[in-house]
Structure 1
Amino acid sequence: MSFPFYIEVLGWRIHPHPVMESLGMFLGFRLYLKIRRKNRIQESHALFIFLGALAGAFIGAVGLAALEHLHQVQGDWQQAGALALVQGKTIVGGLLGGLMGVEGVKKLVGHRESTGDDMVLPLILGIVLGRVGCFLTGLSDETVGSKTSWWTGIDFGDGVPRHPTQLYEIAFLLLLAGGMLLLTSKKPWEGFLFQLFMLLYLLFRWGIEWLKPTDKLYGGSSAIQWACAAGILYYVALIMRKRKGEKRNAEQTIYIS
């Protein structure tokens, strides 16, 4: 198998990354429309929240990618100018940026109920398909891992066996999807699935970044790792606060009864 692995369609050779990325976004959105519970959000609010998520995800994805590849961006700035800032994207930045966009819009429109649980499986589907595109792209995608002697090592075209970190992530996400499906039928986890997904995914990404030959420009860690750490702390605090709130409400209900 050679990389990039171009997709042949009617005699055309199409690069795999934009194809799989677009397919992931399309199918993920279609899945969301199919499974979302309409009673959780008013139609008048849904569009604004979606636009907030889209804007936040774009800003977060390109902003964190620019920090992650700061030296490359600085080198490209002279030729491409501001376009150098939008040449890369990262899922971690997209997720965290999208979260901030959603929460900001929800405050503006006065929507207080949690809307994240319905997004978990669509996000997993979209990320998995996107990572397939990253894997098929090979070295030029800059998501492959460092040199390894593990049996999982793959030669992406430079004669060096490397960690296929994209495949590791796909395997993790498929296991996570199975766990999320099991928890959807558990009443105590309702309203916590998105927080749990984000916490586990950010923990995974923080760890897997050590297997990548990326620049560790910020205190021995990468920008993505610092963003993951911030997100992990946020979600640990959020889950603990929500759990305490539910426990307090349950105790008050028992006392009143």
Structure 2
Amino acid sequence: MPTLEAKDTLFKKKSTLNCRGKLLSLEVPLVMGILNLTPDSFFPGSRLNSADEAVQKAAQMLADGADILDIGGYSTRPGAAEVSAQEEQDRILPAIEAIHRNFPEAIISVDTFRASVAEASIAAGAHIINDVGGGLLDEAMFETIARLQVPYVLMHMRGTPQDMASHAKYDNLVVEVLDELQSQLAKLQQLGVKDVILDPGFGFAKTVEHNFELLRHLEDFRILGLPVLAGMSRKSMVYKSLGINQADALTGTIAVNSVALMKGADILRVHDVKEAKQTIILLEKTKL
């Protein structure tokens, strides 16, 4: 883990992301809206079945203030079915193309750990790659990102979506997560990747208790000088802690997102865009 004194020798704090020529400012926290083209995402309310449904949902999210639309075609919930790269592309590429066609100014992120899907998605009109595998599930991912020169969300996870729960063992959670992210970050830096966003990976190879420990120490992740993404929307850390289900977890999501913002999160990845945007607006008004 880098020391506080070492932080200036690493990455300087990014204030913008270059999304294929479109500059996205990070001066005020951003909202990333989740669009799942999967039949088995953990939150049933987020599931979409076609490109037309994705366009309708995107229109609503953009109207509600979404800064980024995050499209995924592979559910990473525990126990989710394996999906081939071809099926993943068949699910998301029509939606990317349709959203890009209908909303040419919209910034589109793609939630994938596969380099081939990432490349096809960028060609279809996407701007950002959001990799739950942090480059560990496809050895070609980092070189692909370096060649494409698009912003990349580097998320922490151990194992695979199928077995990650068995890897939720840490002696010092925050230090180990930071060290593992920094190790992958060094590889990206060596390849010349310019825009990297850190995601501590809430819910990925983490217990509920681990998730809250990460949230308590979220400001520590700013030591690397990079934007930080928090993805806790309707996850088990919220609904299990409250003894409810995902459908009733909006209020809890707003609560944990508020804490994340106060601890320096730059991007909130959410199912409920309007509420996240309102939370950001109100918390920004509390700043001196």
Q: TM-score when scaled to structure 1?
A: 0.30
More helix by percentage: 1
Higher strand share: 2
For normalisation by structure 2, the TM-score amounts to: 0.28
